[in-house]
Amino acid sequence: MDLGGLATANPVWVGSSELTMTREGLLACVDAGAGAVVAKSVNESAAARRQLDIAAYAFVGDDRRVRAPGAAKRGDGLLNRSGLAQAELDDWLDILAGAAEHGAARGCPVIGSITLGDAAAAARIGRAMSGVVPAVELNVGAPHGREARAVRRLTEADAVHDAVRTVRAAVGVPLFVKLPGQASDVVALARAARTAGADAVGLVGRYPGFLPDLDGGAVLSSWGAWGSPGCLPMSLYWVSKTRLALGPDVPLIGTNGARTAADVLRFLASGASAVEVVTALWIEGPGVLAELVAGVEAYLSGRDDFVGSALAGARDYAGIPPNPSPAWLPYLASSGRN
């Protein structure tokens, strides 16, 4: 399949995380069967690299209790505090070059990633990355943007346009732009990114989160970034709305909420052409990719035009006919309060 000028073997991608922060991690994801692998993000800021020294991770069950290490389940949410890759740029480019060569031989592109700090600096990094990887992801929706001064989370269309235009001018390979989910109009951000030269748009980044532990403190002892299967409908809202607004010719990459093959398929049905998965690998390791890829390929076998297929039956509220009887009545009756 071709996505924004990038050839990839399948739509199940590995998103940027600590799992893709080393050569060994990158190669493990490639070898496990990913369609593409996004390397851990970097930027120009030493402070963003130092933030990794205070990283913390909490897997949270349905009862909002934190799991003991090693006891996480695939349906858990992840609240974390993280930073960027700590390698110096030249060393990181060497790692990316080796991983990209390994991936190319297996039909799995390895994509460089930049989390926005300063746009001009991101352009310089992007120009350097263009020489060693087949595509670059620019993350302008970092969920830590409010807490960490060294990264930015853009929520206004003009700011997205300006940042993407600056980086686009320097990057000589396909440029994918990852957007936040917490903004008044994510569709407007996607349109701005596309107008400024993005070859594909990623929807959406994780959300800022906070969870009291009810013992007088807070999980992680701070705020963090939150993603979970419960975020899936929220992510699909923006994927589907962006697909409708920008049309099928704009490639979309889904992220935040996919843990199973069925979740990946829901992203595709909503209009995404590929889906980045991270937390399922945190919990079960890169080997889970084989399950996801097999499940997606088995379901899509013999099916054409599946991407965006759920939108044909989706109506605006104004186009929905009135219910013959109050839809809330059975729920009220079952509650014993009628």
Give CA–CA dist 246/55, Å, rounded. 37
Q: Is the pLDDT of residue 336 over 70?
A: no
Closest CA to 200 of 248, 250, 268: 250
pLDDT band, residue 301 (cuts 50/70/90): very high
3-state helix, strand, coil in the chain (%, to 5): 40, 15, 45
In degrees and rounded to multiples of 5, residue 253 shows phi and psi of -115, 120
Bridge partners (DSSP) listed for residue 79: 58, 226
Q: Which 3 state secondary structure label does DSSP give 237?
A: helix
In degrees and rounded to multiples of 5, residue 116 shows phi and psi of -65, 130
Bridge partners (DSSP) listed for residue 6: 3
Bridge partners (DSSP) listed for residue 66: 60
- pTM to 2 decimal places: 0.95
In degrees and rounded to multiples of 5, residue 8 shows phi and psi of -145, 145
Tell me: the pLDDT tens digits for 35-49?
Answer: 999 999 999 988 888
What domains are defined for the chain?
Answer: 2-334 (3.20.20.70)
Over residues 129-145, the mean pLDDT reads 93
The count of other CB atoms within 10 Å of the CB of residue 247 is: 10
